[in-house]
Homo-oligomer: A and B are copies of this chain.
Amino acid sequence: MRDEARRLDAADPLAAFRGRFVVAEEAGAYLDGNSLGRLPRAAAARARELVEREWGEGLIGSWNRGWLDLPARVGAGIAAVLGAAPDEVLVADSTSVNLFKLAVAALRRQAPRRRILTDDLNFPSDHHVLRSALAAVGGDPSADLEVVRSPDGVTVPPDLLLAAVTPETALVSVSHTAFKSAYTYPLAEVTAAARDRGALVLWDLSHSAGSVPTDLRAAGADLAVGCTYKYLCGGPGSPAFLYVRRELQEELENPVGGWFGAAEPFAFSLDYTPAPGLRRFLTGTPPVVSLALVECGVDLVREAGLPAIRAKSVAQTEYLIRGWEARLAPLGYALASPRESARRGSHVSLRHPEAGRITQALIAEHGVIPDFRAPDCVRLGVCPLYTRYEELARAQEALAEVVVSRAYEAYPEQTAGVT
């Protein structure tokens, strides 16, 4: 198994990218880049330059020497990753706050339609935010949020989702790639079908941006948000992006209007005139240090290119699934991700009744770091820019070992994971 892994690593066209990241420990396996991407070496240098030179020496003048442009400039880089135009993406706030802004804006545009359709694979924070958005337009946060249930806990057939779009549906909002199962919707197909029924689609791209291609312009996608600290390697809690199709930008109003989204922030007018284009979706002053670092990870994704990233991602998740089939299924692990790679993102979820304790044992005894998603999932994320096949082999050996040896029994019951 290790030999095959080493052969695959030796033939990996992206192998050199691993050296562009800080890798402190070579012996284990870091399979949680879908939760927090590794530190690009360039980001460590950029942080020093930004803090010590731009803040420490440049002081307030640095706003005019690049900081003011960061939300749009970093956004333009992400746009290239997402298949959007440069002026269709901004970086600002958290994914949840961005989702709130776009959901409220969309609901107001879509009146008198005012129901939101989502699914139960969507991230919990999205559910919370969508209810908040409904409340902000005078809707009923419970009754007006319709939740399509996944029949198998892993997938939602697009037809099932689309069948639930009614003339009252203002907005469909789902995760492109589901955080737990990695199930991935056909983005263009859902977008087109929803539009035919008069609904907008607001995608959460958190688990696909930087790993699954999304040709947003070709798909005519309306709205999207997503996080930058997973496959885009922006750093812990780095600010999120938002995408609005150019043709929609002037039709939408930021429901949390603030000075950075005003046409002339530094004219200090008490009246609010929204900036032309997408900048109107900024609100307050952005967290410059966290924001600037996002660019370093995005640059690496662009340099490698989504086709090569996606090819390796599919190959690595297939590798994990083959290994699961051969060695882990007999030990009680169930596959909780789609087998069809076209419908799968860049991680593989395995279900096991002892998933929580198994995860603890993997980390403590093997230096293998997946993550645990309550109640019973172990997620194995592959980030093609730095994940090696040998890490996947080690992880699978460890997943087998801790069950065979019952090593997990030494750990406390766990009901919740982290991030």
Contact = CB atoms under 8 A, between A and B. Distances in A.
Interface residues of A, number: 94
A35 interface: yes
A110 interface: no
A264 B55 contact: no
A289 interface: yes
A93 B57 CA distance: 26
A125 B63 contact: no
A166 interface: no
A220 interface: no
A237 interface: yes
A285 B95 contact: yes
A328 interface: no
Contacts of A239: 287
22 contacts: A24-B57, A36-B63, A38-B56, A63-B419, A94-B258, A94-B283, A97-B97, A97-B258, A104-B136, A124-B265, A125-B262, A128-B259, A129-B257, A131-B272, A132-B255, A132-B256, A238-B289, A240-B284, A265-B416, A268-B373, A287-B287, A290-B290
A30 interface: yes
A112 interface: no
B36 A258 contact: no
A353 to B, nearest CB: 17
Interface string A143-175: 000010000000000000000000000000000
B59 A32 contact: yes
B283 A96 contact: yes
A202 interface: no
A55 B236 contact: yes
Given A237-B286, A266-B416, 7 more contacts: A35-B60, A43-B51, A44-B51, A96-B259, A125-B284, A128-B262, A128-B272
B47 A285 contact: no
A123 B258 CA distance: 10
Contacts of A100: 256, 283
Given A56-B39, A59-B36, A60-B32, A267 B125 contact: no
A287 B284 contact: no
Given A285-B227, A373-B268, A22 B97 contact: no
Contacts of A62: 236
Contacts of A136: 104, 136, 255
A284 B93 contact: yes
A235 interface: yes
Contacts of A419: 60, 63, 266, 285
